[in-house]
């Protein structure tokens, strides 16, 4: 795999069948809501009909008290612990979720939904707009983290789950966890936001904006109408992903993994080839991402993160968001995460303390950057297991 | 100024007159070298004919001992202390350079050259290839920091300057300073590398690679032939600049300057407009950059930085680079610079110490990130003035 700019084909067959079909008829359960049960969006729009795709593991107990909701990150999906239907790769959190794992599917009923605005079966810009028979594209209304949570709450109603034993998520997933505690305090027994924060920082908004501009600068984006026009802004989305990927890693990890090591060569070629391993790695990250993610979804979901500012909904006082929360919290951050640095988690912890909530805080020593939450991090696993065990005892779960 | 992706025209008139003319016949002095005086490049190529454009301030004394060479950064040019001929804006280091300023043009003869591979009059990919009568484009050989320094040394020969009183530069300019001390120890009396390092880190290579891919992903890049084809990869270059610009600032400065403040609005628009000030600011940075910089030059000069690894030329031992240097050094870094963090400067200081060189080190407390070296930083000014005064006394300069 060499020069991205030269080697990525920008034309694709007119109808993007597998991807379109995951958006409409996903390889996972899906709940459909008619126009009579619209999703009320923060943008002031009632979205309906709409649908929400989800995956589940384990069994709901008779009291319906052992449900854990996992919230996925920006480019994640509901396939937490099963092979991904598009890539065939293992689920994105198989390290944490499964029989005997810290989120133990032998004990808990684990649910993960694809977010609203996503592209894996929950309604989003790649879904069909019933009014036109074409993809929503940019006619899809903008969504927020609160909209994601509201849609999840409607699914929980359908599943007959009144209160979640725990809501867990990393990065954007952690934002949803915090929003759950704020929006539905009585429905959350325990909450575990990981590598996250109560707002998106200026620097994070800036990185997202560059990614969006990269997508929109690609002429194959076609003002968002690429699905109808048989195009696909592969290069733009790949560039966006490459840039974002750097922010998921730490400088230290990049240095340790790649340093200035050349890729399959002894010396620089004096060309624009991927001389360095890090270049080759990033190009691969960009290229593989475009095969599984919808470019417009990337715009919508990054925007939802940018808009997230939980304190703003409570007069600028974050503690206000948690004033009524009876939940116990376990906040986890990673020392080398510079996208959601520990100080963002600490601000959440301070607000929880100020709101009188029960909260534990673990800063995991790791050089893996933001991505640590997806990786093999024994200290995180131990913290998650301990927290869930203790909360389960409190609730009297077997 | 709103949506970049929608509003930047991608077509320009067939011949890009002003820009092409700065590349060939710059608004500054230029020295031309014939095929008989080629520039020997690290790529193994003798480049000739070639030319080097430079700007100068102050007067060379009779002994020719008061010359200061300023080396510019990635997207800088020779217009240090005069209005820029393309933008009309003040020179990029007018805060530091001028009569009575720390680099005092009443005392010193100050020279700055446009780097080889640049687009402001020194031969680069936008210059005409005499073999074809068209722009060099990607036929231009790759250049290195050492090539930049070699070309400057040839200019110094022409100007009759045997030894430079001081070589000064920030960022990529600092790399040139270190290379000068290594390549021409006897020609450097004093050296001041600022916000720089002896190698480009994996993370920095990664950011550069994303920028290059953004340029090359733009169909108007035309495999580098845009000048001949009357096109210009504006969107790609703007995206590259936006991403790079984030790395020049600190998270703290972004937070302080922009935070999550909305741009001319009270609440989010629920569109992809530039809702946040930081978005609007970045789009402006991207758009204004494409008006003054050649996209292929951006590829070449970023690549030169990536290749820089001074220790590698000395068996991996950086001290070896300075073993023969009789120069005194003043190394300056900034606390919030995460592109060239203090540890990179410290590594240079350690190597200088190990090599027995005279070295002072100042870490300036600043929240302005990498860009601090271009800004009003009194502590940097004081350090520069003190260092130059003391070096001038040592040399017996009036």
Q: By CB neighbour count within 10 A (0-12 exposed, 13-18 middle, 19+ buried), where does B34 fall?
A: exposed
Q: Is residue B323 predicted with pLDDT exceeding 80?
A: yes
Q: Which of B52, B78, B79, B56 is nearest to B68 (CA)?
A: B56
**What b/e string do you get for A101-138 counting C-beta neighbours within 10 Å, with b at 16 or more?**
bbbbbebbbbbbbbbbbbbbbbbbbbbeeeeeeebbbb
Mean pLDDT, residues B212-233 taken together: 97
- Contact residues, chain B, for A43 at CB < 8 Å: 270
The H-or-E segment that residue A4 falls in is helix A4-7
Residue in B closest to A234 by C-alpha: B217
For residue range B40-74, list pLDDT tens digits in order.
999 999 999 999 999 999 999 999 999 999 999 99
Contacts of residue A198, defined as CB under 8 A and 6 or more positions apart, other chains included, come to: A175, A178, A308, A309, A310, A311, A318, A321, A344, A347, A348, A351
pLDDT at residue number B19:
54
DSSP A54: E
Residue in A closest to B139 by C-alpha: A271
Per-residue confidence of chain A (398 residues) as pLDDT tens digits? 333 333 333 333 334 444 558 998 999 999 999 999 999 999 999 999 999 999 999 999 999 999 999 999 999 999 999 999 999 999 999 999 999 999 999 999 999 999 999 999 999 999 999 999 999 999 999 999 999 999 999 999 999 999 999 999 999 999 999 999 999 999 999 999 999 999 999 999 999 999 999 999 999 999 999 999 999 999 999 999 999 999 999 999 999 999 999 998 888 999 999 999 999 999 999 999 999 999 999 999 999 999 999 999 999 999 999 998 999 999 999 999 999 999 999 999 999 999 889 999 999 999 999 999 999 999 999 999 999 999 999 999 97
Contacts of residue B164, defined as CB under 8 A and 6 or more positions apart, other chains included, come to: B67, B68, B69, B156, B180, B187, B188, B189
Q: Which residue has the tokens 């725990």?
A: A166
pLDDT at residue number B265:
87
- Contact residues, chain A, for B343 at CB < 8 Å: none
For residue range B180-194, list pLDDT tens digits in order.
999 999 999 999 999
CB contact under 8 A, B254 and A6: no
CB contact under 8 A, B214 and A214: yes
| Whether the bond into B48 is cis, omega within 30 of 0 | no
Q: In angstroms, what CA-CA distances link B278 with A207, A216, B43, B265?
A: 10, 18, 40, 13
Q: Show the tokens assigned to A274.
A: 């991927």
Q: Which of A101, A120, A100 is nearest to A112 (CA)?
A: A120
Q: By CB neighbour count within 10 A (0-12 exposed, 13-18 middle, 19+ buried), where does A155 fall?
A: buried
pLDDT at residue number A21:
83
Asked whether B184 and B152 are in contact (CB, 8 A), the reply is no
The alpha-carbon gap from B289 to the nearest alpha carbon of chain A, in Å, equals 15
Asked whether A81 and A94 are in contact (CB, 8 A), the reply is yes
**Out of B4, B216, B276, closest to residue A205 by CB:** B276
- Contact residues, chain A, for B142 at CB < 8 Å: 268, 270-271
DSSP B1: -
- Contact residues, chain A, for B303 at CB < 8 Å: 272
Residue in A closest to B341 by C-alpha: A251
Annotated catalytic residues of A are 171, 337, 370
Beta strands A97-98 and A103-104, pairing class: parallel
* Distance (Å, whole) CA A234 – CA A217: 11
CB contact under 8 A, B260 and A199: yes
Assign A314 to helix, strand or coil: helix
Q: Which of A167, A154, A193, A200 is nearest to A301 (CA)?
A: A200
CB contact under 8 A, B5 and A279: no
- One-character DSSP codes across B99-160: TTSSEETTT-EEEEEPPTT-SSSSS-TTSEETTTTEE-GGGSPP--HHHHHHHHHHHHHHHT
Q: Which residue has the tokens 């100042």?
A: B362
Sign of CA dihedral A291, A294, A295, A298: negative
Predicted complex: ipTM over 0.90: yes
Instruction: Tell me the H-state helices in A249-397.
Output: 251-257, 277-290, 295-307, 318-321, 342-354, 378-395
Rg (chain B; Cα; Å) = 21
Q: In angstroms, what CA-CA distances link B119 with A259, B56, B206, B369, B383?
A: 30, 18, 24, 26, 32
pLDDT at residue number B16:
47
The alpha-carbon gap from B66 to the nearest alpha carbon of chain A, in Å, equals 36
pLDDT at residue number B305:
98
**Out of A200, A207, A251, closest to residue B203 by CB:** A251
**Out of B43, B201, B202, closest to residue A270 by CB:** B43
Q: Which residue has the tokens 């006619």?
A: A139
Sheet holding A109-113, edge to edge: A30-33, A50-57, A109-113, A67-71, A164-170, A188-194, A328-334, A358-364
pLDDT at residue number A5:
38
Asked whether B125 and B138 are in contact (CB, 8 A), the reply is yes
pLDDT at residue number A20:
58
Q: Show the tokens assigned to B277.
A: 């000030």
Contacts of residue B254, defined as CB under 8 A and 6 or more positions apart, other chains included, come to: A201, A202, A203, A206, B246, B278
Annotated catalytic residues of B are 171, 337, 370
* Distance (Å, whole) CA B245 – CA A363: 30
The alpha-carbon gap from B142 to the nearest alpha carbon of chain A, in Å, equals 5
For residue range B82-99, list pLDDT tens digits in order.
999 999 999 999 999 999
**Interface with chain B: mutation pick from A260, A282, A285, highest number of B CBs within 10 Å:** A260
- Count of CB pairs separated by less than 8 Å, A with B: 177
Rounding to the nearest 10 degrees, give the CA dihedral for residues B186, B192, B198, B201: -160
Three-state SS string across B163-201, please?
Answer: CEEEEEEECHHHHHHHHHHHHCHHHEEEEEEECCCCECC
* Distance (Å, whole) CA B130 – CA B120: 18
Asked whether A248 and A76 are in contact (CB, 8 A), the reply is no
Give, to the nearest 10 degrees, the angle between helix A202-217 and helix A295-307. 160
Give, to the nearest 10 degrees, the angle between helix A234-248 and helix A295-307. 40
Q: How many CA atoms lie within 13 A of B116 on its CB side?
A: 31
| Whether the bond into A136 is cis, omega within 30 of 0 | no
- Contact residues, chain B, for A286 at CB < 8 Å: 213
Say what the pTM is.
Answer: 0.94
pLDDT at residue number B20:
58
CB contact under 8 A, B272 and A216: yes
Confidence band of B1 (pLDDT split at 50, 70, 90): very low
Beta strands A103-104 and B30-33, pairing class: unpaired
Mean pLDDT of chain B: 94
Q: Is residue B21 predicted with pLDDT exceeding 90?
A: no
Q: What are the backbone angles phi and psi of residue B163, rounded to the nearest 5°?
A: -130, 135
The H-or-E segment that residue A69 falls in is strand A67-71
Give, to the nearest 10 degrees, the angle between helix A145-159 and helix A172-183. 70
* Distance (Å, whole) CA A226 – CA A233: 8
The alpha-carbon gap from B342 to the nearest alpha carbon of chain A, in Å, equals 14
Three-state SS string across A78-106, please?
Answer: CCCCCCCCCCCCCCCCCCCEECCCCEECC
* Distance (Å, whole) CA A318 – CA A310: 7
- Contact residues, chain A, for B253 at CB < 8 Å: none
Assign B30 to helix, strand or coil: strand
**Out of A206, A272, A279, closest to residue B278 by CB:** A206
């Amino acid at each position: 795999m060499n020069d991205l700019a030269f080697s990525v084909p920008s034309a694709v067959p007119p109808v993007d069948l597998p991807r379109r079909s995951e958006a409409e008829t996903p390889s996972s359960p899906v709940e459909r809501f008619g126009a009579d049960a619209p999703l009320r969006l923060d943008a002031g729009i009632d979205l309906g009909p709409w649908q929400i795709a989800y995956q589940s593991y384990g069994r709901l107990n008779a009291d319906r008290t052992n449900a854990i909701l996992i919230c996925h990150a920006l480019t994640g999906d509901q396939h937490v612990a099963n092979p991904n239907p598009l890539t065939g790769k293992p689920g994105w959190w198989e390290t944490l979720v499964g029989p005997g794992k810290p989120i133990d599917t032998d004990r808990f009923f684990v649910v993960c939904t694809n977010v609203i605005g996503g592209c894996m079966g929950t309604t989003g810009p790649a879904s069909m707009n019933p009014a036109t028979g074409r993809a929503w594209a940019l006619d899809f209304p903008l969504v927020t983290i609160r909209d994601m949570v509201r849609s999840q709450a409607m699914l929980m109603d359908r599943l007959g789950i009144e209160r979640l034993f725990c809501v867990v998520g990393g990065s954007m997933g952690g934002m949803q966890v915090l929003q759950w505690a704020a929006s539905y305090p009585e429905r959350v027994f325990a909450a575990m936001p990981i590598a996250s924060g109560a707002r998106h920082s200026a620097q994070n908004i800036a990185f997202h904006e560059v990614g969006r501009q990269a997508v929109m600068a690609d002429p194959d984006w076609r003002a968002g109408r690429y699905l109808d026009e048989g195009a696909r802004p592969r290069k733009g989305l790949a560039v966006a992903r490459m840039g974002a990927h750097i922010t998921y890693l730490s400088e230290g990890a990049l240095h340790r993994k790649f340093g200035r090591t050349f890729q399959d060569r002894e010396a620089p070629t004096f060309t624009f080839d991927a001389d360095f391993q890090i270049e080759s790695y990033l190009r691969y990250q960009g290229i593989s991402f475009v095969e599984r993610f919808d470019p417009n979804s990337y715009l919508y979901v990054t925007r939802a993160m940018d808009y997230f500012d939980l304190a703003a909904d409570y007069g600028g006082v974050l503690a206000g968001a948690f004033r009524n929360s009876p939940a116990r919290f376990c906040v986890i951050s990673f020392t080398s995460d510079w996208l959601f640095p520990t100080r963002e988690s600490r601000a959440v912890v301070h607000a929880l303390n100020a709101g009188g909530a029960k909260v534990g805080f673990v800063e995991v020593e790791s050089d893996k950057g933001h991505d640590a939450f997806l990786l093999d991090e024994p200290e995180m696993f131990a913290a998650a297991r301990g927290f869930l065990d203790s909360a389960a005892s409190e609730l009297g779960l077997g």
